[in-house]
Copies of this chain bind each other. A is one copy, B any other.
């Protein structure tokens, strides 16, 4: 079967459990979701889940790891492509928004719930997040170095501003809204790169 990215893809009990976990972990948080909540959402008794999963935390590990991987896969190539820093940053922002739109629930978990990973799984997730942030740092550095970006911006703060705006998108983005995810991404890129001032 080809790899799929949207929500509710795949089939079988395991996929149903993962999708339910994305929804509930996203809405109520990992610590705010009980295994009984999860079982009710799937339509099964609590103990039945354990025929398909190893533990509650294993679900979080899988959702976060796959999610970060999805973002890196979609965005990293643009960060190191041949275009100008401006073109690259624009493409990265659009790609990020498109991945969020693919599955906002999962994105919510990726950006807000990773901190509840146990000691064994946390370092790897943090490292992957840093790889992701590194993509944006690289492009902003290049832009400034090449004189295409403002010389008087603080690079660290510019990157945090961009990432903050992006990290918040799963809170409000509606994949079925009037604007397509790509259009939303283009508009966000416009705002972040040229500002709101006329």
Binding site for B on A (CB under 8 A): 28-32, 86, 89, 112, 115-116, 140, 143, 147-154, 157-158, 160-169, 171-172, 179, 184, 187-188, 190-198
Copies in the complex: 2
Residue from B31, B157, B165 in contact with A187 in the complex, judged by beta carbons closer than 8 Å: B157
Query: Does the CB pair A198–B164 fall under 8 Å?
Result: no
Residue from B32, B169, B198 in contact with A150 in the complex, judged by beta carbons closer than 8 Å: B198
CB distance from A135 to the nearest CB of B (A): 15
16 example contacts (A-B, Cβ-Cβ < 8 A) are as follows A31-B32, A32-B116, A149-B198, A152-B190, A153-B190, A157-B187, A157-B188, A157-B191, A160-B168, A161-B165, A161-B192, A164-B164, A164-B166, A164-B168, A194-B194, A195-B195
CB distance from A13 to the nearest CB of B (A): 26
The distance in angstroms between the C-alpha atoms of A103 and B151, with both chains bound, is 31
Taking CB atoms, residues of chain B closer than 8 Å to A158 are 187, 191, 196
* Majority SS at the chain A contact face: helix
The distance in angstroms between the C-alpha atoms of A157 and B179, with both chains bound, is 10
The distance in angstroms between the C-alpha atoms of A115 and B24, with both chains bound, is 13
Taking CB atoms, residues of chain B closer than 8 Å to A198 are 147-151
Residue from B28, B153, B168, B179 in contact with A196 in the complex, judged by beta carbons closer than 8 Å: B153
Query: Does the CB pair B193–A153 fall under 8 Å?
Result: no
Taking CB atoms, residues of chain B closer than 8 Å to A150 are 194-198
Nearest CB in chain B to that of A146: its residue: B198
Taking CB atoms, residues of chain B closer than 8 Å to A179 are 154, 157
The distance in angstroms between the C-alpha atoms of A29 and B112, with both chains bound, is 10
Query: Does the CB pair B157–A86 fall under 8 Å?
Result: no
CB distance from A19 to the nearest CB of B (A): 21
User: Top 8 closest A-B pairs, CB basis?
Assistant: A164-B168, A31-B32, A195-B195, A164-B165, A194-B195, A31-B31, A165-B165, A161-B165
